[in-house]
């Protein structure tokens, strides 16, 4: 971070050189002028120009200050360096939308609550939270404290840390379907392990899926833009099932009955299960001797501290969790019935970083916090406010867009009109909201630290975003 020594030392840029002056040149300029608001007072703290308050104290627009300091070049410079060495110079989940690349931030420099700052000091309300995991918010005191307390402990050894036991105890107390737990690093680890365990436990192969279960071959080999990217995997071991359609599930299960290892599903996210649906899925799995696996990557802690299985009262044989398990530190868990989980030791399961103690230390702190505070309830209330903001902004612009699905993880949907489909409208919307300092592209994830002031900023950005979409629509 580039810092100036004191607020009274704001450099004066020589005439004619105000644009694209870099920090090193500035530090050599030497001449200073008194800041008229702070004159006479010496600030003992170094100035951080990414801090709004410094900007406000000097009555400068952030953009002016940024230009003076040549700071807007930081993102550009990093982008050029990234393109020379990174195969994915932007975060691929959200930003591989080419039409957004000129407005989006590429690098975060810091985060606080629901706010993120990029390398140029541009501030954003973060409604993506790394695709969900940062349930509490950035730099939450619980996480910060756990990290500080754990600093100095060995990170990975070939032994377990006692936190592994404590986190497993917490999980078994929170999730009805958890009698035994094994940890991994990514959601994909837990989902792959679940599929492998189900196949080993049943001696069968076929898996009926609903939702997204990670990037590993068994699930994703036929999903990439390059068809058949992993020979031999494409499509024959699994099939997607239509959600909330008991008759369709029954027909598929009958068809694959002899080879059905598991029904693996996200129990709720974009579509909430209709009354009795999950119970029916449980019944169908039992009838065919297949396992029921809930992928609760999104719903665990975000929907309820005990996951969707607690909300809907349906206990799966296996549960996959990750994301908010350690509020963003890499940790996932496969949990399940004792007899089924014994198969973890009969398939190959293990990885170098499986017992990383840092993620476990943070998870332990988060799980205590989730247990003692109604985080999911709080986030749901904030999500409902977000939904209302989006729905109202859409209606005010004459659109029929709606926030769809769980309040804690909402799709921002628009109705296709003419040549402008859902994707195109989302891009128009996102370009506008990003320019106005709000970061949702298609899904909004609220965090516990999201404040009313954050929501005010979101409301202004959503209003402009929806107006922009409305103006782009073909006239009837
Ligand atoms: C429901 C679900 N399952 C599995 C995964 C894969 O998790 P990861 O990206 O941590 O491997 C994701 C990731 O978004 C997910 O949403």
Whether the predicted pLDDT of 374 surpasses 90? yes
The Cα 189–Cα 351 span in angstroms is: 9
Whether the predicted pLDDT of 316 surpasses 60? yes
**Do the Cβ atoms of 140 and 115 come closer than 8 Å?**
no
The residue-averaged pLDDT of 174-190 equals 98
Residue 305 lies in a domain: yes
% the chain with pLDDT above 90: 70
Tell me what pLDDT residue 50 has: 44
Under DSSP, is residue 58 helix (H, G, I), strand (E, B) or coil?
A: coil
Q: What is the DSSP letter of 115?
A: E
- Looking at the structure, tell me whether residues 127 and 146 fall in a common domain: no
Instruction: Report CA(280)–ligand 1 centroid distance (Å).
Output: 25
* Structural tokens at position 207: 């898996």
Burial 311-323 (b: 16+ CB within 10 A, else e): bbebbbbbbbbbb
Residue 1 lies in a domain: no
Residue 416 lies in a domain: yes
Residue 2 lies in a domain: no
The Cα 287–Cα 254 span in angstroms is: 10
Whether the predicted pLDDT of 70 surpasses 70? no
Domain containing 19: what range? 7-71
Confidence at 6, pLDDT banded by 50, 70, 90: very low
CB-defined site of ligand 1, < 6 Å: 131, 186-188, 191, 211-214, 266, 295, 297-298, 322
Ligand 1 atom nearest to 211, measured from its CA: 1
Nearest C-alpha to atom 4 of ligand 1 is from which residue? Answer: 213
Residue written as token pair 């530190």: 329
Residue 252 lies in a domain: yes
The Cα 250–Cα 243 span in angstroms is: 12
Q: Is the dihedral of CA 162, 164, 167, 170 positive or negative?
A: negative
- Looking at the structure, tell me whether residues 276 and 152 fall in a common domain: yes
- Looking at the structure, tell me whether residues 354 and 402 fall in a common domain: no
Instruction: Report CA(276)–ligand 1 centroid distance (Å).
Output: 26
Residue 121 lies in a domain: yes
CATH code of the domain in which 453 resides:
3.90.1150.10
**End-of-domain residue from the set 372, 404, 424:** 372
Tell me what pLDDT residue 150 has: 97
Under DSSP, is residue 77 helix (H, G, I), strand (E, B) or coil?
A: helix
pLDDT digits (tens, 9 = 90+) for 105-151: 889 999 999 999 999 999 999 999 999 999 999 999 999 999 999 99
- Looking at the structure, tell me whether residues 149 and 245 fall in a common domain: yes
Instruction: Report CA(459)–ligand 1 centroid distance (Å).
Output: 29
pLDDT digits (tens, 9 = 90+) for 271-301: 899 999 999 999 999 999 999 999 999 999 9
Residue 77 lies in a domain: no
- Looking at the structure, tell me whether residues 235 and 92 fall in a common domain: no
- Helix (H) / strand (E) element for 295: namely strand 291-295
**Do the Cβ atoms of 430 and 416 come closer than 8 Å?**
no
The residue-averaged pLDDT of 150-159 equals 94
Mutate to test the pocket of ligand 1, among 323, 329, 332 (most ligand atoms within 8 A of CB): 323
Ligand 1 atom nearest to 296, measured from its CA: 1
The Cα 315–Cα 332 span in angstroms is: 19
- Looking at the structure, tell me whether residues 247 and 290 fall in a common domain: yes
Instruction: Report CA(95)–ligand 1 centroid distance (Å).
Output: 17
- Looking at the structure, tell me whether residues 102 and 87 fall in a common domain: yes
Give the number of domains in the chain: 3
Instruction: Report CA(210)–ligand 1 centroid distance (Å).
Output: 13
Residue 339 lies in a domain: yes
Whether the predicted pLDDT of 66 surpasses 70? no
* Structural tokens at position 459: 């409301």
- Looking at the structure, tell me whether residues 189 and 319 fall in a common domain: yes
The Cα 446–Cα 433 span in angstroms is: 16
Whether the predicted pLDDT of 370 surpasses 90? yes
Mutate to test the pocket of ligand 1, among 129, 183, 187, 325 (most ligand atoms within 8 A of CB): 187
Residue written as token pair 């110079």: 89
- Looking at the structure, tell me whether residues 243 and 293 fall in a common domain: yes
**End-of-domain residue from the set 20, 41, 71:** 71
CATH code of the domain in which 292 resides:
3.40.640.10
Instruction: Report CA(214)–ligand 1 centroid distance (Å).
Output: 5
- Looking at the structure, tell me whether residues 296 and 367 fall in a common domain: yes
Confidence at 98, pLDDT banded by 50, 70, 90: confident
Q: Which residue has the higher pLDDT, 42 or 361?
A: 361
Whether the predicted pLDDT of 455 surpasses 70? yes
Under DSSP, is residue 130 helix (H, G, I), strand (E, B) or coil?
A: coil
Nearest C-alpha to atom 7 of ligand 1 is from which residue? Answer: 187
Whether the predicted pLDDT of 184 surpasses 60? yes
pLDDT digits (tens, 9 = 90+) for 394-439: 999 999 999 999 999 999 999 999 889 998 999 999 999 999 999 9
Mutate to test the pocket of ligand 1, among 209, 211, 214, 411 (most ligand atoms within 8 A of CB): 214
Total count of residues recorded for the chain: 476
- In sequence order, the 6+-apart residues with CB closer than 8 A to the CB of 269 are 211, 298, 299, 405, 406, 409
Q: What is the DSSP letter of 273?
A: P
- Looking at the structure, tell me whether residues 177 and 317 fall in a common domain: yes
Radius of gyration of the chain (CA): 25
Instruction: Report CA(185)–ligand 1 centroid distance (Å).
Output: 11
The residue-averaged pLDDT of 262-279 equals 95
- Looking at the structure, tell me whether residues 100 and 234 fall in a common domain: no
Burial 169-188 (b: 16+ CB within 10 A, else e): ebbeebbebbebbbbbbbbb
pLDDT digits (tens, 9 = 90+) for 77-95: 998 999 999 988 887 666 5
**End-of-domain residue from the set 329, 356, 372:** 372
The Cα 390–Cα 296 span in angstroms is: 26
For strands 108-112 and 115-118, give the pairing. Answer: antiparallel
The residue-averaged pLDDT of 183-207 equals 96
Confidence at 228, pLDDT banded by 50, 70, 90: low
Instruction: Report CA(41)–ligand 1 centroid distance (Å).
Output: 52
pLDDT digits (tens, 9 = 90+) for 158-174: 999 999 999 999 999 99
């Amino acid at each position: 971070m580039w810092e100036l020594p004191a607020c009274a030392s704001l450099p004066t840029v020589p005439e004619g050189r105000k644009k694209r002056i870099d920090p090193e040149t500035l530090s050599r300029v030497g001449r200073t002028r008194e800041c008229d608001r702070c004159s006479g007072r010496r600030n003992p703290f170094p100035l951080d120009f990414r801090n709004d308050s410094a900007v406000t104290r000097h009555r400068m627009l952030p953009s002016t200050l940024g230009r003076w300091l040549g700071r807007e070049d930081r993102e550009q410079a990093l982008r050029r360096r990234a393109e020379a060495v990174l195969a994915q110079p932007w975060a691929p989940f959200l930003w591989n939308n080419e039409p957004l690349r000129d407005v989006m931030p590429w690098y975060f420099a810091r985060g606080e609550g629901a706010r993120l700052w990029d390398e140029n000091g541009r501030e954003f309300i973060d409604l993506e939270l790394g695709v969900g995991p940062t349930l509490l918010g950035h730099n939450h005191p619980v996480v910060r404290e756990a990290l500080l307390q754990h600093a100095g402990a060995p990170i990975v050894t070939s032994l377990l840390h006692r936190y592994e036991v404590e986190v497993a105890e917490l999980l078994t107390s929170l999730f009805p379907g958890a009698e035994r737990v094994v940890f991994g690093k990514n959601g994909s680890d837990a989902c792959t392990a679940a599929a492998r365990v189900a196949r080993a436990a049943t001696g069968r192969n076929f898996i009926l899926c609903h939702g997204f279960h990670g990037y590993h071959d068994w699930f994703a080999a036929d999903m990439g833009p390059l068809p058949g990217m992993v020979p031999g995997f494409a499509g024959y071991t699994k099939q997607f099932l239509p959600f909330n359609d008991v008759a369709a599930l029954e027909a598929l299960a009958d068809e694959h009955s002899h080879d059905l290892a598991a029904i693996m599903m996200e129990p709720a996210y974009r579509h909430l299960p209709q009354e009795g649906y999950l119970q029916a899925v449980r019944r169908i799995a039992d009838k065919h001797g297949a396992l029921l696996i809930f992928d609760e990557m999104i719903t665990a802690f975000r929907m309820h501290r005990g996951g969707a299985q607690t909300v809907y009262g349906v206990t799966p044989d296996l549960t996959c969790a990750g994301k908010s398990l350690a509020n963003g530190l890499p940790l996932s868990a496969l949990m399940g019935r004792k007899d089924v989980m014994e198969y973890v030791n009969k398939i190959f399961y293990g990885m170098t970083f499986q017992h990383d103690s840092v993620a476990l230390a943070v998870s332990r702190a988060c799980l205590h916090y989730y247990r003692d505070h109604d985080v999911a309830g709080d986030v749901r209330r904030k999500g409902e406010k977000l939904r209302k903001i989006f729905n109202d902004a859409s209606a005010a612009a004459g659109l029929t867009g709606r926030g769809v699905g769980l309040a804690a993880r909402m799709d921002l949907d628009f109705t296709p009109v003419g040549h402008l489909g859902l994707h195109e409208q989302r891009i128009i919307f996102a370009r506008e909201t990003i320019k106005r300092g709000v970061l949702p592209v298609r899904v909004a994830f609220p965090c516990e630290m999201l404040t009313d002031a954050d929501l005010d900023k979101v409301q202004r950005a959503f209003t402009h975003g929806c107006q922009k979409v409305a103006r782009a629509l073909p006239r009837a």
